[in-house]
Amino acid sequence: MARYLLVRVGSLLVSVVAATLVVFIIMHAIPGGPFDAEKAPLTADQLAVINRFYGLDQPLPVQYLKFLWGAFHLQFGYSYSDPGETIAQLLARVWPISAFAGGMGVLLGVTAGILLGVAAALNRNTWIDYVATFIGILTITVPPFVVSLGLILVFGVLLRWFPVSGWNGPATWVLPILAYSTIPLGPVLRYTRSSMLEMAGRPYVTVARAKGLSARRVVIRHIFRNALRPIITITLPILPGVMTGSIFVEFFFSVPGLGQYFVTSIFKRDYPMELALIFIITILYSVIFVITDVLYVLLDPRVRLAEGAAGA
Amino acid sequence: MRVMATGTTGAVTPAGPEDLDALLTSGPPATSWRRMVRRFAANRLALVGLIVLIILALAAIAAPLITPASYDDTRFVADTYAFPSAAHWFGVDAVGRDFFSRNVYAIRVSLAIGFGAAVISTLIGIPLGALAGYFGGAVDWIIGRVLEVFQIIPPFLIAILVSTLTNGGIPVLVLIISGTSWMGMCRLVRADMLAMREEDFVLAARALGVNQFRIIVRHLLPNAMGPILVAFSLTIPAAIVVEAGLSVLGAGVNPPTPSWGGMIAEGLSYVSYYWFLELFPVLLLTITILSLSFVGDGLRDALDPTTK
């Protein structure tokens, strides 16, 4: 286990470096720098001073290494567009909003998915099953991008039940969280349903019933418990993407979270910001992958850690 | 070819007229293709999806015939923001273009980009996946790292980055989107190769001295065609979503080329009042994605009904 972890951490570092390097290269390959479109055109001298201040006059490899070194100390420097606070401060201010919206959304979606999946499994081939399965198909197929728009049109414009933009007060939380909840709902529903159906046919269930346990007890304590473990492992990989703020959900609902910075930092050539974001999200994904693998082993004693488990 | 009938003694006798008759009246042979088509046809969602898709495709092809104006024709300037009416089925947009026309031409753009991106994804993904899966070892390792890099970096961000580099243009956009979707096909083909390369028929081919690449192309890939087809048809809606997303953010097709994503972004500011500018692109986008996905799912279930 220790050896495995070591290998995975090494792999994580390689991924992070690779990802940030690729983004760094592409960003610098895009024509135009961060200070071209300033409101007041800068003279060559002023530009030189700014470049020197931000270290943009240094050779690229040096710039990259300085970034990397700082990143591992969680110091990302200053954003070019909002130099009033360090990037770390900005992230600390803005990320919790995304994490909250995303986290609540996942919670809601997973819960709903489990409930609907169980209902579908227990009432197989009845209308309950068909409706639940259909909901599952819809939420898997329709991307959050479209779901957000649908929510805006139906609940915001047509019914006018909820405000469609801004982030002040619980009323503005409802629609974004609903939009996020559709992300895990589909897979969890489908998986819960098929997993429970599969469990129900197993011998140990027959034994439990034969022993005289009530159907309810069998379902809850045996079938459901065993089906629950893998659900955790499917849900975990969804977390990094959702909790760093879906670009579109935040865009459409004007949520002042992290998602917007992913895009604006590209358009504004805000190198430190973009690199910081990529760094964070890459580490998040890699860490979650490792946790998922380890959890899978812990939860299911039959599974051994495969050596080449990365990227499976 | 002479038809032979084998009797219970094992002796082979030429077929008599009764045998031929039996053959001819038993109906078409239930080959696996036929079974698949039948399964697909039994899947109501898939059928509906297919019908809708055909309607969309026909609308896209016949666009000039069914629309009152071209997508960039701003002659209705006097009626900007007009609500849907008999004269303008979807209303008029902010600069005086008939919105129905724009939406119909947008079908062309989306389907073309989606299909094109799926084709290129496949062209990239199949060779890489086949090489990785069949040869394993170092080749697999390298391709595995490439896959990982493409997966760890949110593909969408790369798409935005690169498209800002090149400012639009549909062919470039297709390439960029392919860059975000080839990984699925690659993984699939790799997994299939891994599964099949230990099979006896491969061993036999190798023993006969068949060239490795020929084995891959002529023997292994045709057996993987089913999943490849399914993956292809599911890549199309995914590509359309990516294109719409890019266009919403302004990194997609350039105006005035109509794109649902672009229309969505434009209509967002007025959605509370001029709802139709937002509703119709969203509706059409959703219908397109859903029908493509249902058809893809239907193909998958038709090919392998055990996974339900």
Instruction: Please report the ipTM that was assigned to this predicted complex.
Output: 0.79
Chain B CB contacts of A15 under 8 Å are 148-149, 152
Q: How does residue B104 score in pLDDT terms, banded at 50, 70 and 90?
A: very high
- Which of A30, A142, A278 is the closest to B290 by Cβ? A142
| CB atoms B249 and A251 under 8 Å | yes
Beta bridge partner(s), residue B6:
B12
A19 has a chain B CB within 8 A of its CB? yes
| CB atoms B148 and A15 under 8 Å | yes
Suggest the residue from B143, B153, B277 to mutate for an interface test with chain A (most A CBs closer than 10 A).
B153
Highest mean pLDDT among A249-253, B50-54, B304-308: B50-54
Residue with tokens 């070892």: B137
Chain B CB contacts of A143 under 8 Å are 241, 289
Chain B CB contacts of A29 under 8 Å are 165
Task: Say what the pLDDT of residue B216 is.
Answer: 79
Length of chain A: 312
- Say how far apart CA B24 and CA B86 lie, in whole Å: 57
Q: How does residue B305 score in pLDDT terms, banded at 50, 70 and 90?
A: low
- Residue A246, pLDDT > 60, answer yes
> pLDDT (tens digit, 9 = 90+) per residue, B167-177?
667 888 899 89
B178 exposed, middle or buried (CB, 10 Å; 0-12, 13-18, 19+)? Answer: buried
Suggest the residue from A14, A133, A145 to mutate for an interface test with chain B (most B CBs closer than 10 A).
A145
> Cβ distance A118 to A196 under 8 Å?
yes
All residues at 6 or more sequence positions from B16 whose CB lies less than 8 Å from its CB, including other chains: B5
Task: Say what the pLDDT of residue A40 is.
Answer: 59
| CB atoms A146 and B158 under 8 Å | no
Chain B interface, Cβ < 8 Å to A: 45, 144-145, 147-149, 151-154, 156-158, 160-162, 164-165, 237, 241, 244-245, 248-249, 264, 268, 271-272, 275, 278-279, 282, 285-286, 289-290, 293-294, 297
| CB atoms B162 and A26 under 8 Å | yes
- Say how far apart CA A135 and CA B301 lie, in whole Å: 18
- Say how far apart CA B4 and CA B13 lie, in whole Å: 6
Tokens of B106: 């947008």
Task: Say what the pLDDT of residue B292 is.
Answer: 94
- Which of B149, B162, B241 is the closest to A143 by Cβ? B241
Binding-face residues of A in 276-295 toward B, CB within 8 A = 278, 281-282, 285-286
Long-range contacts for B299-302 (Cβ within 8 Å, ≥24 apart)?
Answer: B299/B40, B299/B46, B299/B229, B299/B230, B299/B233, B300/B230, B300/B234, B301/B39, B301/B40, B301/B43, B301/B46, B302/B36, B302/B37, B302/B39, B302/B40, B302/B43, B302/B46
> pLDDT (tens digit, 9 = 90+) per residue, A204-245?
777 877 887 777 777 777 777 777 777 777 788 888 878 777
pTM for the full model?
0.82
Suggest the residue from A149, A278, A288, A307 to mutate for an interface test with chain B (most B CBs closer than 10 A).
A149
Percent of chain B whose predicted confidence (pLDDT) is above 70: 88
Task: Say what the pLDDT of residue B301 is.
Answer: 84
> pLDDT (tens digit, 9 = 90+) per residue, A41-73?
777 787 777 777 777 777 888 888 888 888 888
